[in-house]
Structure formats: structure tokens, C-alpha cells
Chains A and B, each alone.
Chain A
Amino acid sequence: MTGIRLEKTTTQPAVGSESVDLKALDDAALVAEYLGGRRRAFHELADRYHLRLLNFIYRTIGDRDRAEDLVQETFVRVYRHLHRFDPTKKFSTWIYTIASNLAKNELRNRSRNPMVLFQAIKKNWEADHRPLQWEDNSYSPDDLFRKRHLREQVEQAVAELPEHHRVVFVLREMEGKTYEEISEITGVTLGTVKSRLNRARNKFAQIIGPMLD
């Protein structure tokens, strides 16, 4: 008896194929592409995350230039250990965990070697030397001043939160992470995440409340 053997064909390009549009892929697929030999996939991941990580670390440690160094370090570590990444987990959680650990180390090192943080000194300087922006004419100068002042107060209030609370607060309020993701990133239990977040919000409300009434 003779028969025809049918090969299963697929219209989807294989991993590592140059025809795959990297921007259309999710993180897990990009990791697979990179591990399949397509180097450009890593650059797509870096494009996707560098701004978010910069803001997360900056809000956590309060030093923009140092935050940029730590984002670079985050990507270097990801690059070195990408082959160890568990594809059943979320890539974003993994990369935020690395960034969070680097930020925590930075804060720990600072507390061991106390020094005057330049960022704190030049805070007022920065307010007056920001790049010129086209202002919205629909607001009066008083409104614009009040808005800018409030932003500065909010930034200051975030910076005043205790370190453990600040990380959780930034991840939830500014990065929009779920409780489970925050738990995984920070390495603490779900109950601790809720507790820290609640305390952080309470403290934040105490600082910022009088200005918003």
C-alpha cells in the first residue's frame, strides 16, 4: 500500500528569521528570537524598556545620571543571563527585579557611605534651568505656577517616603504593576506589599494633603 506523506507546513516564520517584524512581537517572543540568534531582538527589548526603567530607578534613587548608569547595568546583566530566563515567567517582571535590586544596592551603598547628594543641592537650580517649553495659553500664569509648584511638591513627597515604601509605591502608582508583580519584583510576600503600599500612601497623603486642599 502506498500513501502520500504530508508534511505539516506553517506560514509563520521560524525563530531567528529576518522576516519577523520585531516590533510586533511580545517580550517572550523577542527573547526567543534573540536566543535563536537574532541579535536585533535584544535591541528591540532595550528600546522597549530603557525609558520605563530609567524613570523607575530615577524615582527610586533620586539621581538621574546614576539612574542611567544603573539602567545600562540592568541591560548588561539581562544580556549576560538571558539564556537562564524562565520563559514561563513575565520578562518585564524579571527585568524590573534586576533593576530594583540594583536600585536597592545603590541606596544601601549610599547609607553606608553617606555623602551629600548633588541632586538634592541642585534641586532649586534645576527648577529654574529646565528647558524652555511652550506653555499652554489656556492657563493663566498663576495656574501654571501652581501646577509646576505642585509637581515639585509631589516629586519631593515621593522622595521623602522610606526606601521600602517608595519602591512599592513607585511600582504601583507610576509603573502600574499588580500586587503579584510587585511581590515578585521586590521579593516580599503579597501581604507585605499591601501593607507597605498602604503605609506609603498614608504617608504620601499626609505630606501632599495640605497642598491639595
Chain B
Amino acid sequence: MHCDCDRFIQEYSEYRDGVLTPDREAEFREHVAACPCCARYDRVLRAAGDLLAQLPSAEPHDDFMPRLQHRLYNIDEGLGDMPAHRFAGAAALVGVAAVGILALFWLPFAASVPVEMQLDPVAAYVPPPVDEEVPSLFRRGHFVEAAAGQARILESGAVVWQPRSHVHPTVILESGSWVQASASFGH
């Protein structure tokens, strides 16, 4: 049987790996011996195969086995199998999601809850205008100043308001009703 180059190339793998029938293999050997192109093809691939076998082997990192044992341990313990960096990422994601859900539920309530807070005391003092009329109880204005006088209760039950400043009126209140609301100057 004639063996041409095309057929040799097409079936080369089987020839190389020794899975051809003995007759076919003998034909191929004859062809290689007679054809320089196919002989070169065969020589190149065999030499390359030798080089492939000499390639340096990739070595695993030193922690390969401990890492594997740790993962298998997690599976045995029912902890799930997740490399540490993925676990940290997942934990962070769950944390953010939990905070988001809490905020979502809390915000509507936060708007309706009154917030109480204590502010620092503020002292205000408005001095009486110099040209102003004498203030009256029946007029608008700052006519009562607790620190500016004192109240006395008479034996009759009347209350006398005596301002310290001469510009303020004296006010006498009787029990039950107003009997006098006059302004006098001086003590």
C-alpha cells in the first residue's frame, strides 16, 4: 500500500503513539525513511517531546497543604468552604447590608420622635429707655422687674410692691381685687 505525505501527517499522532496496526506502522516507517520532509517532521516532534519532558516542574507554595487541610477542616465542621479573603469580603458585605436594612426601618421613626436637648442658659437685659414714660401695668412694655424691688404684705392683707429705683411705680394690691393701681414717685 502506498503511503503519501498527507496521510502521514493526518495519522502521525497514531504512528507516534504506537496505536497503528503493525502493517500500517511498517508502511509509515518506510515512508519516513524515504521522505526527508516527513522525516524532519517526525524528528522535530520527537525532539520537542524530549524538551517538553525536561521542562522544570511548577512547585506549589509551602503553605499549599496547610491551606488545603484548613479548607477540608471547615467542610468537616460545617463552616462552609471559603478562602479567608473571600470570607472577609462576604462578612463586610453582610455587615453593610445589615446596617442598610436597619437604617431603612429606623428612618421613618426617627422623623416622628421629638428630640430633647438642653441648651446653655442665655441672659438678656434690656435697659429702660431714658425718655420713656413711666410704665404702667396696663400698657405694653417691660414694667415688672423682679430684681428691681420687693413685695411686702401689710396687716390688712394688702401687698405693696416697692421698687428700688425711683423711676418705677409703687403698686399696692389688695386681696381679692385691684383697689389701687396708681403710680407714685419716690418711696
**Chain A residues in the interface with B (C-beta under 8 A):** 42-43, 46, 50-51, 54-55, 58, 64, 67-68, 71-72, 75-76, 79-80, 150-151, 154-155, 157-158, 172-174, 179, 194, 197-198, 201-202, 204-205, 208-209, 212-213
Chain A residues with CB under 8 A of B59:
51, 54
The docked-state distance in angstroms from the alpha carbon of A201 to that of B10 is: 10
A-B contact count (CB 8 A): 90
Contact assessment for B12 and A201 in the assembled complex, using a CB-CB cutoff below 8 Å:
yes
Closest-CB distance, B66 to chain A (whole angstroms): 11
Chain B residues with CB under 8 A of A172:
17
Contact assessment for B55 and A46 in the assembled complex, using a CB-CB cutoff below 8 Å:
no
Contact assessment for B45 and A51 in the assembled complex, using a CB-CB cutoff below 8 Å:
no
A154-B48, A202-B9, A208-B48 known; A72 vs B67 contact (CB < 8 Å): yes
The docked-state distance in angstroms from the alpha carbon of A72 to that of B66 is: 11
- Say yes or no: is B65 at the interface (Cβ < 8 Å to chain A): yes
A174-B52, A205-B44 known; A68 vs B61 contact (CB < 8 Å): yes
Contact assessment for B57 and A204 in the assembled complex, using a CB-CB cutoff below 8 Å:
no
A72-B64, A151-B51 given; name 6 further pairs at CB < 8 Å.
Answer: A79-B72, A174-B55, A179-B17, A198-B12, A198-B13, A209-B41
Chain A residues with CB under 8 A of B56:
151
Contact assessment for B45 and A151 in the assembled complex, using a CB-CB cutoff below 8 Å:
no
Closest-CB distance, A108 to chain B (whole angstroms): 20
Q: List 7 A-B contacts (CB under 8 A).
A: A64-B58, A68-B60, A72-B67, A72-B68, A76-B68, A151-B56, A194-B14
Contact assessment for B13 and A154 in the assembled complex, using a CB-CB cutoff below 8 Å:
no
Closest-CB distance, B128 to chain A (whole angstroms): 82
Contact assessment for A150 and B51 in the assembled complex, using a CB-CB cutoff below 8 Å:
yes
Q: Is chain A's interface secondary structure helix, strand, loop, or mixed overall? A: helix
Contact assessment for A201 and B64 in the assembled complex, using a CB-CB cutoff below 8 Å:
no
Other-chain contact of B55, A67, A154, A198 (Cβ < 8 Å): A154
The docked-state distance in angstroms from the alpha carbon of A173 to that of B48 is: 10
Contact assessment for A46 and B44 in the assembled complex, using a CB-CB cutoff below 8 Å:
no
**Chain B residues in the interface with A (C-beta under 8 A):** 9-14, 16-17, 19, 40-41, 43-45, 47-49, 51-61, 64-65, 67-69, 71-72, 75, 81
Contact assessment for B13 and A155 in the assembled complex, using a CB-CB cutoff below 8 Å:
no
The docked-state distance in angstroms from the alpha carbon of A1 to that of B159 is: 136
Contact assessment for A173 and B64 in the assembled complex, using a CB-CB cutoff below 8 Å:
no
Closest-CB distance, A129 to chain B (whole angstroms): 14
Chain A residues with CB under 8 A of B57:
51, 55
Closest-CB distance, B28 to chain A (whole angstroms): 14
Write the chain A residue with the least CB distance to B48: A208
Q: Which 8 A-B pairs have the closest CB atoms?
A: A198-B13, A58-B58, A154-B51, A209-B44, A197-B13, A208-B48, A212-B47, A212-B44
The docked-state distance in angstroms from the alpha carbon of A58 to that of B81 is: 23
Write the chain B residue with the least CB distance to A157: B48
Contact assessment for B75 and A80 in the assembled complex, using a CB-CB cutoff below 8 Å:
yes
Contact assessment for A76 and B71 in the assembled complex, using a CB-CB cutoff below 8 Å:
yes
Contact assessment for B75 and A72 in the assembled complex, using a CB-CB cutoff below 8 Å:
no
A72-B71, A174-B52 known; A54 vs B44 contact (CB < 8 Å): no
Chain B residues with CB under 8 A of A173:
49, 52
Other-chain contact of A205, B48, B53, B55, B64 (Cβ < 8 Å): B48
Contact assessment for A46 and B19 in the assembled complex, using a CB-CB cutoff below 8 Å:
no
Closest-CB distance, A143 to chain B (whole angstroms): 14
Contact assessment for A76 and B75 in the assembled complex, using a CB-CB cutoff below 8 Å:
yes
Chain B residues with CB under 8 A of A50:
60, 64-65, 68
A54-B60, A154-B48, A209-B44 known; A76 vs B17 contact (CB < 8 Å): no
Closest-CB distance, A67 to chain B (whole angstroms): 7
